Amino acid sequence: MTKPNLQRLLETVCGETQAAELLQLMNVSPQLLSSSSEQASRAEVAQALNMVLFAGILERVPTGMAYTRDVIEAGGQVVFDHGALRTVKWECGDLPSGEIAFTRILAPLGYRLNGIYPLDRIGMTGRSYAHADLPDDIAQYFLSELHPERFSAAFQAAVSRVVSASADPLDDDAVAQLAVLERDASLPMADAARLVPKLAACFDRHHAEPALADYELLLKESAEMAWISTEGNAFNHATDRVADVRAVADAQRGLGRPIKDTVEVSRSGRVLQTAFKADPVERRFVGTDGIVVKRTVPGSFYEFITRDFVPASEAAGGTLDLSFDAGNAQGIFKMTAAC
């Protein structure tokens, strides 16, 4: 029996063992497991990338890994709701500035802008992108831009020293494949299998190790920019859509895991979020006289979200509320200052 395209893509990128583990762990729409042709749809390519990125964050976030192991042992699955990443709206060398570094990837994959969220308290703007083909079933992206011009001159200079020589991870082959994907909404399977790992590599740090003095300066004004200086464009967090976020939080707290003290509730009351505190990671910095030093800093984290349906009385009545909330986002972002 021929394997579904999604499974074949995952096996090519991750190997058969990890592909099987991901398909067991993650809830996947049957529509994404129904095709076994030699053309991969943009939805299948997007889902494969999302699953690879989800696996990556579990490798970096021990609390998330522990939680997902519990889910598997209980016979359950996780619903990947969205992944979040941070960019800097600044001169970034060869890397396109701000969110453009990723919208050039998301648009060919079938993603469309779904909301804009001013994050004024932290000097950022967030934008959500939902998949045009299966918005409820394929994870969204919450893509934020930090605005250095809202901070001090010394801060801006430090940002320049950190990111101004960033490299662009997308090679000409990947750019050409994205153009075909955007035009045709599909790719030959062999091309899709080559493209997915190249896209996954974009979700990483593309600048050199920062100077410790710059990190400390950035941290005084923006925990978010300090995080970007060490982690770059890696997923800041991945989010599991659950039926009752409060019950999950209570259960994880009972297990002694470092869950957020409160649940963030959107103004509509329909979107509830909480998260584990970021897991600490050891990172290298350039210290005095160019000597490399190591420090423990906040890494990524695992989040939970509950989404209710939009009331029938509203325009999108009866659909799952896929929106975000600026207040929720700013509260959740504090998790990378709380490892």
Q: Where do the structural domains in the chain lie, given as residue ranges?
A: 5-337
pLDDT band at 339 (very low <50, low <70, confident <90, very high): low
pLDDT at 338 over 60: no
Global pTM exceeds 0.85 = yes
Percentage of the chain beyond pLDDT 90 is 90
Q: What are 157-203's pLDDT values in tens digits? A: 999 999 999 999 999 999 999 999 999 999 999 999 999 999 999 99
Distance of alpha carbon 60 from alpha carbon 55, whole angstroms: 9
Mean pLDDT value across the chain: 95
pLDDT at 265 over 80: yes
| pLDDT value for 300 | 97
Q: What are 311-329's pLDDT values in tens digits? A: 877 877 779 999 998 887 7
Mean pLDDT of 23-34: 96
pLDDT band at 276 (very low <50, low <70, confident <90, very high): very high
| pLDDT value for 19 | 97
Check: CB of residue 92 under 8 Å from CB of residue 163. Answer: yes
Distance of alpha carbon 254 from alpha carbon 20, whole angstroms: 30
Mean pLDDT of 101-108: 98
Mean pLDDT of 51-77: 97
| pLDDT value for 116 | 97
Q: Taking the CB of residue 157, how many other CB atoms lie within 10 A of it?
A: 13
Q: What are 33-48's pLDDT values in tens digits? A: 998 889 999 999 999 9
pLDDT band at 59 (very low <50, low <70, confident <90, very high): very high
Q: What are 85-104's pLDDT values in tens digits? A: 999 999 999 999 999 999 99
For the chain, the maximum distance between any two Cα atoms, rounded to a whole number of angstroms, is 65
What CATH fold (topology level) applies to the domain 5-337?
2,3-Dihydroxybiphenyl 1,2-Dioxygenase; domain 1 (3.10.180)
| pLDDT value for 109 | 99
pLDDT band at 1 (very low <50, low <70, confident <90, very high): low
What the block records as the tokens of 3 is 């394997």
| pLDDT value for 326 | 84
Q: What are 219-247's pLDDT values in tens digits? A: 999 999 999 999 999 999 999 999 999 99
